[in-house]
Structure 1
Amino acid sequence: MTKAEKIRQTLLQTRERRKNQIPVVYQLKINLNSAEKETKDKLFKLFLEAKWLYNYIVADIENRLNEDADKLKEVEIKVGESFEKREITNLTLQMKQALVERIKQNLYDLHRQKQKGYKTGKLQFKHHVNSIPLKQFGNTFKFINQQKTRVKIQGIKKPLRVLGGHQILEGVEIAKAELIKKPSGIHLFVTCYIDRDKYTKIWEHRKNRKGVVKPRVWQTFDSVAGVDFKPIGLMLSSGLKFEWLIKETERLKTLQKELARQQKGSKRWYKTKEKIAREYERITNIKYDIINKVCSFLYRYRTVCFQEDHIKCWKEGYFSKSVHYSAVGIIKRRLSDSLRVPAVAIKSNIPTTKTCSRCGSRQEISLSDRIFKCSVCGLEIDRDLNSAINMLKSVGLDRSELTPVEWETSARIFGNNPYILVSHTT
């Protein structure tokens, strides 16, 4: 059997195995404080050389994107008005191959967008390359101890200490990773595959940082939930309401004013830009913390029902800032793609807001009216709660009242978060 046939057979076996597996991505942070200066310089130089290689190929794609693109050892970069040559010494062959494949994928995506009728230009240069693919576990990267606290990256002599390796348990298949540079430091995103029948057992027995396995209790609700999304949160058919808006902080506004008064390209200008990037990352972390907790709460229901609202249209209308600050579209996408809870999507043309949840009569209601008042049966109810109840009725499900277990669970998950408001509407 030739080498090509062995690779083809291995790929077929991997594809068959992936059909019964769930991908999980673990985020590990590289501890730069414990690394030597030479190691840190090489690590940051990887991202700089990746930018050089990417822009060099994009500058002349027709002649430079060929079979020998991943073997380049010297590139030309523009410095001011002239061009200078730079050697690529830290990027390994497999890293170069992954970057070349990324360029090909970007070109393919532009081609697909053009076929769909969108206006697309040519591939643009990058000011920063903040991610480097490590596509082969055991070769481009590997863990050198059982606790997964030290990782060896190809091209860097000494191993690096990582934080969060205790999340990866035994029994998972490590496939690939990616080096990500953020304002707070450099992270390693490790992609693993877990068998579907083992996924629940592995999640219920997670290790803490000391390596001790402690069983976790996943409290489920024996009820269904209709979810009505709003620009600033969502409303459940049980009456639970979640509202949050993570706006720009005063510190961010102050830093932006300082940046506007400083000379572009100076040392202080670059330092202020780094502070602004770190502040943006902190705001994003707060926002995603809320999103993860809301999704964790919704995953506990037996079935989740929501309407196919066009969140993109909300951004183009009056609610552009609110949708941006709350990021409710991410929650909706996660519910649609999740395998942990059955999600039922209702068509957007069903008038759930204009229909009475008690008698079924239909009447017009303006956007400013927050209370639905039925002229037939006299029902007065919050318009979002009325819409959430109608979502369940449209698929033949009955509304369930708020149980003490749901209320206690919401208090346990969101009790320590000052950025989200949890209330109950009757």
Structure 2
Amino acid sequence: MTAVTPSTEEQIPVGASTKAEVRTTRSWKAPIAYAFFSALVLVVFGLLAPAGASSTIDLNSDGVPIKFDPLVLPTMVTNLVIGVILAGITVVAFLRTAAGAKLPMWVMVVFGILWVWALIVFIGANANVPLTWLLTGTLAISTPLIFGSMAGLVSERVGVVNIAIEGQLLAGAFTSALIGSMTGNPFLGLLGAILAGMLVSLILAVFSIRYLVEQVVVGVVINMLVIGLTNFLYSGVMTRDSGFLNTIAQDEKYPRFAIPLLSDIPVIGPLLFDNTFIVYLMFITVPVLTFALFKTRWGLRLRAVGEHPKAADTVGIKVNKTRFWNVLLSGAIAGAGGSFFTLGSVGSFSQEMTSGQGYIALAALIFGRWHPVYATLAALLFGFASNLKTLVSQVGANIPPEFMAMIPYIVTILAVAGFVGQSRGPAAAGKPYVKA
């Protein structure tokens, strides 16, 4: 058997490479972000809260027979306690970073939930917060974001950066409105949205995989192309006969299904068991994709191509073919999510109605470290941030609405800048593969 001489890289001592890795991967961004948000809770939400104020959290919802008394919390004391807990998590984050260890993802999730709760208590000072309405609204806003992040997950896990999520969502919204209006059948509209998303992804696949064009550039160009095309078709086609081409009656939108008994559970019932078809489809997509990605041969091949395409090629996996078909699958998922804007929400198409949701979905993917469950939680956080603006206006909180409108984009910037902790995407993402 012929001996193989290790390369220079392989001859690096294990201890030295480990130390170098620690030096290069250690980042203080996450602990600094934790410290900032902890101080915000302690000082602004706690010490600066109105003296003697109390926050009323209403757990009830119309149509749910079981009723509870509202939860009344002292605003300042509650947030001071939460602030102390968050400060403790911050100290742990600094200690683990100093030791070169990562903070577990579940700790970040707990930190986020506690911070969000403190914000709700602060906004609800001397007011009533309809918690069920807040959560169901968050879920509705987050649904297309979750579909978009799942689309980005499939594409980037296989090695193709998908900046074109925005265009895929918008194409799905336009096509679903057009077909749904003409046929009166939301499921035909969904099928059209899926095909439209796949068509947009086909452009991305051909140019990035076949012609080796820079993937980020292709994605941006595709978004501009879809925006221009849908605007042209909206003005030149839809508006000429909006009653036939762009009007979806309530009974022609996605049907709503309330699961008996389960939908009567306070808070959880309206949130999880009384939703439209597209929301239930999202509930199914996330766990199925999680299982498929980590427990099936398809997922193993997809991740292998995205991490080390050359090694995948040596064991017989057709790298570019695998990338091509999974990029099309990515478009199908995003197209389905785009149909939510028309068949699941508004009932008609309007110009650029996705309003940058594809970019926020991509940020949620980065925030969630390219994992389906964590990306879903990140998308829910962005949806919650968007829904806060409406809550502030409802309860009459003394917070500028312009500031609340900025929150989703501030969170997006923090996520992409790495302040949520280190996020390492698939190693081969964005790198075309040319077989030697």
Q: Which of the pair is proportionally richer in strand?
A: 1
* TM-score, scaled relative to structure 1: 0.23
Q: Which has the higher contact order (CA 8 A, sep 6+)?
A: 2
- Which protein has the larger Cα radius of gyration, Structure 1 or Structure 2? 1
* TM-score, scaled relative to structure 2: 0.23
Q: Which of the pair is proportionally richer in helix?
A: 2
